[in-house]
Chain A
Amino acid sequence: MIYRSPDAIDRSVGSEVLVIRGGESEVHRLSGPVGLVWAALATPGDPAEIADRLAESAPDGVDVGAVVEDCIDVLDRFGLIARRR
């Protein structure tokens, strides 16, 4: 199960999202699919569930599952998400 880091603070700016972790100073600007995955993570879920939520709005031919995995890796790298078994 993946969920947003509990200390994350965010702002929607148009189609993008800005995120910062409480107590830190680095603001992350999430554009495109990463922003969509962040929005989908408003409700925690596993990668397959997140991909299902986004599949409907994805263009034809896109491997949504792979994109979601990549986005989760990026979010994870910056500590913006957490995983729970």
Chain B
Amino acid sequence: MNPAVPNGRPGPAALRVLAEVAIATAPGPGHSAVQEIDVSEVPDQRDLVNAAAQERLTGPLVRAVQTGLLRLDDDVVEKLVDVHVDAMAWCLRVESRLWAITGWLEDVDVRALVVKGPAVAHLDEIDPSLRAFADLDLLVQADDLPAVLGALARRGAVRPFAERRRGFDQRFAKSVTVTFPDRIEIDVHRTICDGVHAVRLPVERLHRSPDSFDLGGHEVLTPNRTVRTLHAAYHAVLGSPSPRLVSLRDIVGYLRSAEREGSVEKIATEAERWRGTAVLAQAVREVQAAGASLPEWTAWLERTTVDPEEDAVIAAQRRDGSSFRRSRITASRELPSVRDRVAYLAAAALPSTTHLRSRGRSRFGALRPGATTGERSVVLPDLPPPGGGVERVLVVLANPTPAGHRPAWMDLAATKTVHVVTRGEVESLRRILSETGVTATVTGTPRGRGLSGRLREVTVASGEVRRFTPDRVEVETGTTWLVCAALLTGRTRVVRRGAAGSSGPPSPRTRLDELLWRLVRSRNRPSSSEPGLH
């Protein structure tokens, strides 16, 4: 049995070494010149395996060991191989689903291009095992979006979040995410990024002259190499405040290939068409900073002028991510018509009730500035993608310590463990923590959007759980964290009973208690005849 992927946050030394490995093993000329990487500063080599699993870089780490770039202790290598096998087993399951989807989409006469993970693995890597991925990304024409979502839904895929407003997906959305019961997640893309650059990008160019690869006898289409290169840059630069190592490694590979093939100018010209020269420039700067040597791209950067306002657009996009904040107003200004702008801003400001409910939010909450974030007090490090041995992700809430005060709900044991299995649940947790002003540290969360499912288990150390099933939870008075966990599921009904089985009204002792029970009452209102509800 393979060991579970380790959960702890890797140390800086391990991440530094892993960054070197990522760059050194990226496709293209250059890595043969790299000398042995020194791991002596990594206090515990298992930390390196942990980091590789979290960054989806077990393949490159295995390659580094195989080629003598890195020397690790035998037991660490053994563990690395096990973790890598888990990662690859998951990738094969995802590819098996891709294989099936190609047939399903043929049935509805839709052409989809696969982007990122499997495409990079099969077409741009030295060997597919060097590129791990957590989910599947399909790019389709906007008009085909309903047919694709319908085909996936007929095979059991569920859309966790409803459309923002009617027609939004086909006009403005970057992608729609659906999840299968076996936790395989599919992002069905209309385009490849959010915000200003999504408005600028000529989507039809993403579909031109596609490449293909064979997958179990099925031809799988993917955008051409120029598009894949720019997509890697857009994903790394616009997708998060700081790109993941696996994303940087992708870019290094593409940029090295462009130097080798003499296609630097071709890619830069395409970036101009996308009005994304600043994005490409930032991508080059990022990989330079990570230590990649790219002489032709460095020369291109030196002769290229980037408007500082464009850098500001990128900074805003990185800050806001996929949430609807200030950068979206900037994006709306670039829409071609007043009608589009109005529709876009309406969707941003007034998402449908169905959409809000699917995200566990209310109209009031949606309009409160910053109500969806809570980053102020919550740290969310990354966990690895769901490998074969990872059944659930733990979110451990360290005991908050309000100065000079010990509220009643802290009478429970010092650490409560809640198993959180969807991004929506993590976001709900962040929101609750933010709204209650509780300072807490969340020490784990699903990486990217790779996990899905439902809350399967709640653990509290106080022994106050009376009964828990996926659909119903019964708790004793004051078991606030269990209530909190139940609320996070978005599906679980909560029944509150008194300590002796009585059903008297709760007597809130803290602000958190009050809020949670208000939410419980709100949740249960449609069936208020349930005994014990108030």
Interface set of A (CB-CB < 8 Å, partner B): 6-14, 16, 18-25, 27, 29
Say yes or no: is B182 at the interface (Cβ < 8 Å to chain A): yes
Chain B positions within 8 Å of A9 at CB level = 92, 95-96, 99, 215-216
Q: Which of A8, A11, A19 contacts B129 (CB 8 A)?
A: A11
Q: Contact between B215 and A16 (Cβ–Cβ < 8 Å)?
A: no
Q: Contact between B216 and A27 (Cβ–Cβ < 8 Å)?
A: no
Q: Contact between A13 and B217 (Cβ–Cβ < 8 Å)?
A: no
Chain A positions within 8 Å of B388 at CB level = 27
Interface residues of B in 75-92 (CB under 8 A from A): 81, 84-85, 88-89, 91-92
Looking across the interface, which residue of chain B has its beta carbon closest to that of A10? B92
Chain B positions within 8 Å of A10 at CB level = 92
CA distance A22 to B103 in the complex (A): 10
Chain A positions within 8 Å of B357 at CB level = none
Shortest Cβ distance from residue B65 to the other chain A in the assembled complex, whole angstroms: 10
Q: Which of B97, B129, B216, B218 contacts A13 (CB 8 A)?
A: B129
Question: Interface digits, B96-136 against A, CB 8 Å rule (1 contact, 0 not)?
Answer: 11011001000000000000000000000001110000000
Say yes or no: is B268 at the interface (Cβ < 8 Å to chain A): no
Q: Which of B91, B93, B216 contacts A25 (CB 8 A)?
A: B93
Chain A positions within 8 Å of B216 at CB level = 6-9, 21-22
CA distance A64 to B382 in the complex (A): 48
Shortest Cβ distance from residue A78 to the other chain B in the assembled complex, whole angstroms: 14
CA distance A71 to B91 in the complex (A): 25
Q: Contact between B91 and A11 (Cβ–Cβ < 8 Å)?
A: yes
CA distance A25 to B90 in the complex (A): 9
Interface centre among A16, A20, A29 (most CB of B within 10 A): A20
CA distance A17 to B332 in the complex (A): 50
Chain B positions within 8 Å of A7 at CB level = 99, 216-217
Say yes or no: is B62 at the interface (Cβ < 8 Å to chain A): yes
5 cross-chain CB contacts under 8 A: A8-B216, A13-B81, A18-B85, A22-B215, A23-B103
CA distance A37 to B259 in the complex (A): 39
Shortest Cβ distance from residue A5 to the other chain B in the assembled complex, whole angstroms: 8
Shortest Cβ distance from residue A15 to the other chain B in the assembled complex, whole angstroms: 9
Q: Contact between B85 and A29 (Cβ–Cβ < 8 Å)?
A: yes
CA distance A27 to B96 in the complex (A): 10
Given A23-B100, A27-B388, A29-B85, check contact A11 B217 (CB 8 Å): no
Looking across the interface, which residue of chain A has its beta carbon closest to that of B128? A11
Interface residues of B in 297-321 (CB under 8 A from A): none
Q: Contact between B81 and A14 (Cβ–Cβ < 8 Å)?
A: yes
Chain B positions within 8 Å of A18 at CB level = 85, 88-89, 92
Chain A positions within 8 Å of B217 at CB level = 6-7, 22
Chain B positions within 8 Å of A27 at CB level = 89, 92-93, 388
Chain A positions within 8 Å of B127 at CB level = 12
Q: Which of B66, B85, B99, B128 contacts A23 (CB 8 A)?
A: B99
CA distance A13 to B216 in the complex (A): 18
CA distance A19 to B89 in the complex (A): 8
CA distance A29 to B216 in the complex (A): 17
CA distance A6 to B215 in the complex (A): 9
Chain A positions within 8 Å of B89 at CB level = 18, 27, 29
Q: A7-B216, A16-B85, A27-B89 provided; 15 other pairs, C-beta below 8 A?
A: A6-B216, A6-B217, A9-B95, A11-B92, A13-B85, A13-B129, A14-B62, A18-B92, A19-B92, A20-B95, A21-B96, A22-B216, A22-B218, A23-B99, A27-B388
Q: Contact between B92 and A13 (Cβ–Cβ < 8 Å)?
A: no
Chain B positions within 8 Å of A19 at CB level = 92
Chain A positions within 8 Å of B103 at CB level = 23
Looking across the interface, which residue of chain B has its beta carbon closest to that of A23? B100
Chain B positions within 8 Å of A25 at CB level = 93, 96, 182
Q: Contact between B92 and A20 (Cβ–Cβ < 8 Å)?
A: yes
Looking across the interface, which residue of chain A has its beta carbon closest to that of B184? A25
CA distance A25 to B180 in the complex (A): 12
Q: Contact between A13 and B95 (Cβ–Cβ < 8 Å)?
A: no
Chain A positions within 8 Å of B93 at CB level = 20, 25, 27
